[in-house]
Chain A
Amino acid sequence: MSDLNKLGLAEARDALRKGDTTSVELTEACLKAIDAADALNAFVHKTPEIAMERAKAADERIKAGEAPSMCGLPIGIKDLFCTKGVPSQAASKILEGFKPEYESTVSQKLADAGSVMLGKLNMDEFAMGSSNETSVYGNAVSPWRRGNDDAQLTPGGSSGGSASAVAADLCLAATGTDTGGSIRQPAAFTGTVGIKPTYGRCSRWGIVAFASSLDQAGPMTKSVRDAAIMLEAMCGHDPKDSTSAELTVPDFEAMLTGDIRGKKIGIPKEYRMDGMPGEIGKLWSDGAEMLKAAGAEIVDISLPHTKYALPAYYVIAPAEASSNLARYDGVRYGRRATLEAGDGITEMYEKTRAEGFGHEVQRRVMVGTYVLSAGFYDAYYNRARKVRTLIKKDFEDVFAAGVDAILTPATPSAAFGLGEMTEADPVQMYLNDVFTVTVNLAGLPGIAVPAGLDKQGLPLGLQLIGKPWEEGDLLNTAYALENAAGFVAKPQQWW
């Protein structure tokens, strides 16, 4: 078989089971593709030895007839996941040299399911960003280009390296994490599939924390079927995360029937933003038509507090970040600033954090510090948490009225050029998450599915939002949308 790295998880799994290829061959094909793709800056710590060792072990298990669900499938892991003995830096200078003595629950579950780790993937520093431009490793680059224009485009963020790697076929799939849209926005920018499950589905243990009440891990894949396979391997109760749900994980792949007859799909009017590009509006209505043609009922709905989701997010997420990132003090792990004679412990903290955190991270930590400070806690933080309650209630009301899933655009535009947003104020960059952030605030599952190309030839995605714990049903609706949209475009290889 040729171009093994171009396979998806399901195809590769089936080929392995049939004996048409081996995990060693698959892994070698990916490692070769990775080495040829340094221009994308997607893989920032390569782990070929670990990969080959796991591939050989996987081939033995397949031969013995005891292959678990992802046996022998090569994947990439976002740098936010702690991986034992392998640099895990959250793309930050402050974690330079950090090699965890433990493995995150999700990456351990993926290893237990037989998958092969190829290396660690680029991202925005501490997952704070929407363009992968805040990384200490430098920008991750999208494999997509605007026709023959050689301007470098963002793969999105924060899971930019994951999106770039999957879209460029450097791996079969990758892990991502999503606090405000960090799986779904990069998936939409790169023509890949990304699902953020219900809050509590995936253990957060061993994932570098950004905003603990919003963070969830999820898969980034080449198809909805692959997302179902990988999500199932990542989910499950973990006593080490007190917010991890004690629920059984269904066989998501078995739920992909493509039959959505009678399902009620809501179209929220508040998501039709002023100034929304015509192409995004058309993609959205085309998507609704496709679901309708597949037998779903399309209904107009209202989520009245949508407008307040981003401002609430930019109180809650920085507040939690300022607390979570307090641990980076140059004492227990990571990088300590060089001190001058006479510097005391306060200077050590202040210099270490000034040198170790990038600009965006510093800004968010300080905004978080401010909104939590005495005198402002009620005005900002408590008010934002009340608004969050109302945002969640918006969704509860439409689900109670019989809506099964909600269809929205995934992003307000196609991918933009790296550096194009440098002059914009931070709030402009935050608007990238306008359609995705509500889902994190409400703790719901959401999936981005590639649905078309814009006039420059760049991918555009649609988002489906599901009921809590109904990822299986959501994936099935996404599967129907994927079938109807028939998105097959791939980036032309230039790297």
Chain B
Amino acid sequence: MSIDQSTAAKVAKLARIKVEDAALPALADEFNNILGFIEQLNEVDVEGVEPMTSVTPQRLKRRKDEVTDGNQQDKILANAPDAREGFFAVPKVVE
């Protein structure tokens, strides 16, 4: 499996990380290097093996579906880069 520049650009787009066109060849090389390392996993016979979902045998805890917290608007907005009138502010999303 080899990654070309257009795949690297697609991955960067999916990850929402801006990568300049000039940086794409180097990025594709890095991916190929790392994926080459990962390819070793193909040597392992995994026939009939369950993929791990939890490293300890316990089941995830459940709790009642009810409100346990809230009324902390100020605290939640305190670290926002741009908060206005009690909301997170972002560039225009809808035309």
Assess whether B80 is in contact with A390, with CB atoms less than 8 Å apart.
Answer: no
Produce 1/0 per residue, B24-57, CB < 8 A to A: 0001001101110111111110100111111110
Assess whether A468 is in contact with B37, with CB atoms less than 8 Å apart.
Answer: no
A399 CB within 8 Å of chain B? no
Question: Which residues A80-134 have CB closer than 8 A to chain B?
Answer: 97-101
Assess whether B37 is in contact with A308, with CB atoms less than 8 Å apart.
Answer: no
A349 with B16: in contact, given A308-B44, A344-B92, A389-B52 (CB under 8 Å)?
yes
Partner of B52, one of A200, A243, A366, A388: A388
Assess whether B46 is in contact with A383, with CB atoms less than 8 Å apart.
Answer: yes
Query: Whole-angstrom distance from the CB of B92 to the nearest CB of chain A?
Result: 7
Assess whether A392 is in contact with B52, with CB atoms less than 8 Å apart.
Answer: yes
A390 with B46: in contact, given A101-B75, A367-B31 (CB under 8 Å)?
yes
Assess whether B15 is in contact with A365, with CB atoms less than 8 Å apart.
Answer: yes
Assess whether A367 is in contact with B34, with CB atoms less than 8 Å apart.
Answer: yes
Assess whether B60 is in contact with A242, with CB atoms less than 8 Å apart.
Answer: yes
Stretch binding the partner chain, chosen from A2-10, A311-319, A458-466: A311-319
Which chain B positions have C-beta within 8 A of A365? 15, 17
Assess whether A353 is in contact with B17, with CB atoms less than 8 Å apart.
Answer: yes
Query: Whole-angstrom distance from the CB of B2 to the nearest CB of chain A?
Result: 12
CB-based nearest B residue for A99: B79
A100, A366, A369, A441: most-surrounded residue (chain B CB, <10 A): A366
Q: Whole-angstrom distance between the alpha carbons of A215 and B74 in the complex?
A: 30
A16 CB within 8 Å of chain B? no
A416 CB within 8 Å of chain B? no
Interface size on B, residues (CB 8 A): 52
A47 CB within 8 Å of chain B? no
Q: Whole-angstrom distance between the alpha carbons of A370 and B79 in the complex?
A: 31
Question: Which residues A275-299 have CB closer than 8 A to chain B?
Answer: none
Question: Which residues A357-399 have CB closer than 8 A to chain B?
Answer: 357, 362-363, 365-367, 369-371, 373, 379-380, 382-390, 392
Which chain B positions have C-beta within 8 A of A350? 13, 16-18
Q: Whole-angstrom distance between the alpha carbons of A388 and B55 in the complex?
A: 9
Q: Whole-angstrom distance between the alpha carbons of A388 and B76 in the complex?
A: 37
Q: Main SS of the interface on chain A?
A: helix
A351 CB within 8 Å of chain B? yes
Query: Whole-angstrom distance from the CB of A153 to the nearest CB of chain B?
Result: 26
Q: Whole-angstrom distance between the alpha carbons of A392 and B56 in the complex?
A: 10
B65 CB within 8 Å of chain A? no
Stretch binding the partner chain, chosen from A135-143, A162-170, A331-339: A331-339
B58 CB within 8 Å of chain A? yes
Assess whether B90 is in contact with A345, with CB atoms less than 8 Å apart.
Answer: yes
Question: Which residues B55-87 have CB closer than 8 A to chain A?
Answer: 55-56, 58, 60-61, 63, 72, 75-76, 78-82
- Which residues of B are at the interface with A, using a C-beta cutoff of 8 A? 1, 3, 8, 11-19, 27, 30-31, 33-35, 37-44, 46, 49-56, 58, 60-61, 63, 72, 75-76, 78-82, 88, 90-93
A-B contacts, 8 listed (Cβ < 8 Å)? A101-B79, A243-B60, A305-B44, A322-B15, A332-B88, A345-B90, A350-B16, A367-B35
> Beyond A357-B17, A363-B30: 19 further Cβ-contacts under 8 Å?
A242-B60, A242-B61, A305-B44, A310-B37, A315-B38, A329-B16, A335-B81, A354-B19, A366-B8, A379-B1, A380-B38, A387-B46, A389-B49, A389-B51, A390-B44, A392-B55, A427-B33, A427-B34, A427-B37
